[in-house]
Amino acid sequence: MVKSFKTFLKHTAKDFHNQSVNPPVVRASTIIFKSMQHIRKTQVKARKKPTGGHFDYGRQGTSTTYILQRILTKLEESFHVFTTPTGFGSVFLAIFSVIRPEDEMLVADPVYSPTRILTENYLKEFNVRTVFYNPHDLKTLEKNITKKTKLIFVENPGSNTFDFQDLDKIISIAKKHNIFTAIDNTWGTPYYLKPMKLGFDMSIVSATKYYSGHSDVMGGSLAVNKKVFNKVKTAEKITGLRLGPDDAYLITRGLRTLDVRLDRHSENAKKVAAFLSKNKKIQLLYPFKKNSENYRMWKKYYSGASGLMGLKIKSNNAKSVKKFVNSLKLFGYGYSWGGFESLVLHQEFRETGKRKYMNLSKDEHLVRLHIGLEDPKDLIQDIKQALRYLR
């Protein structure tokens, strides 16, 4: 029976052996065998089917982590999915798997700030050169390709500024020059975008966000195709980047309602965006205006939009922007996003990273909103009362 995405999430991973709707949490450092022959047989099975969940040591995972990997592999429509302790762990694993000293990589200019620090600063010490390209002008990508270029790293949409890119064109350029590709797809998740079907070699999602959905667990996933599987598997083994069973259980439980939550996040965000779009002091950084390039690029690839958006506020009074943020009552103040609650964050320059292609004048300020699962009327009313402080 063919199951839709929504039905699959509700019916997968049931444990009939333990008569449990959700799989049990199996914690193990030592994997117990009946004999040495049993160990060797398991090791042979693991070599023949390296994605098959055959373990001889706890660092490789348990049945709990393997079940989550199977679910995510199905959702991503990938060859395999590796899971890591944090979302950024998956970013690191993707890069570490294919980049070596003297290699070069091309990275989208508006990437997550820690990704920028890793690629621009930290890897420089290992003689790896990083060049940042303009997401709205892919000529800046292709003209910087050399014989040493090994990876194109995309984040879509861009962190904080929400730039949507022409993904087909990026894949075409990469294939033309035989370059690996990776994308951070945390904003859309495979519910709204399936990068592996577009041709990406690796797809990253911070499971801390929408997969979990409850702001109480951290984790990451790295979906891969067959081409890079062995490289990532080797790197994972060497680094020990493996998600623990308790976190895997919580993420699996959160995935059951991923579609329901994302649909609601999207509905609420559209209503909030419609309200904010009428304010002349605010430029909405969200795929809302149909005549914009960002909207066209979003519509071309995505089946929906999540609840995270940016506001570019024009004001000569920086204190009034902070007053606006601090006057919100229903928005929590804190990092991360993707949980059931609404959040707000005033973005400082150090948090966006020093970008080459971002033009932000002194009277422009970035505020990030995550629209949660509350009643959108209440959220709009809260924003409305706070907007009166903008000068």
The band of 1, judged by pLDDT with boundaries at 50, 70 and 90, is very low
pLDDT score for 17:
67
Mean pLDDT of all residues in 119-126? 96
How many angstroms separate the CA atoms of 140 and 123, rounded?
21
- Side-chain-facing half-sphere of 112: CA atoms under 13 Å: 22
Phi and psi for 101 in degrees, rounded to 5?
-50, 140
**Which CATH topology does 258-387 take?**
Aspartate Aminotransferase, domain 1 (3.90.1150)
3-state secondary structure the chain: CCCCHHHHHHHCCCECCCCECCCCCCCCCCCCCCCHHHHHHHHHHHHHCCCCCCCCCHHHCCHHHHHHHHHHHHHHCCCEEEEECCHHHHHHHHHHHHCCCCCEEEEECCCCHHHHHHHHHHHHHHCCEEEEEECCECHHHHCCCCCCEEEEEEECCCCCCCCCCCHHHHHHHHHHCCCEEEEECCCCHHHHCCHHHHCCCEEEEECCCCCCCCCCCCCEEEEECHHHHHHHHHHHHHHCCCCCHHHHHHHHHHHCCHHHHHHHHHHHHHHHHHHHCCCCCEEEECCCCCCCHHHHHHHHHCCCCCCEEEEEEECCCHHHHHHHHHCCCCCEECCCCCCCCCEEEEECHHHHCCCCCCCCCCCEEEEEEECCCCCHHHHHHHHHHHHCCCC
Beta strands 308-314 and 364-370 are: antiparallel
Structure tokens, 175: 């294939």
Pairing of strands 104-108, 149-155: parallel
d(CA 391, CA 382): 18
- Which pairing describes strands 282-285 and 343-347: parallel, antiparallel, or unpaired? unpaired
**What average pLDDT score do residues 142-160 get?**
97
Q: What value does the mean pLDDT take over residues 319-324?
A: 96
Average pLDDT for the chain: 94
Positive or negative, the CA dihedral 169, 227, 187, 320 is: negative
Kindly list the domain boundaries of the chain, sorted by start residue.
Answer: 258-387
Which pair of structure tokens corresponds to residue 58?
A: 């706890």
pLDDT at 11: 82
- Residue 309 tokens, joined: 């958006």
Report the share of the chain in percent with pLDDT over 90. 82
155-208 pLDDT tens trace: 999 998 999 999 999 999 999 999 999 999 999 999 999 999 999 999 999 999
- The pairing of strands 308-314 and 220-224 is unpaired
Higher pLDDT, 350 or 249: 249
For the ranges 28-37, 194-203, 310-319, the maximum mean pLDDT occurs at 194-203
This prediction has a pTM of: 0.94
| Residue 2 pLDDT greater than 70, yes or no | no
**d(Cα 378, Cα 76) in Å, to the nearest integer?**
35
Residues 222-278: tens digit of each pLDDT: 999 999 999 999 999 999 999 999 999 999 999 999 999 999 999 999 999 999 999
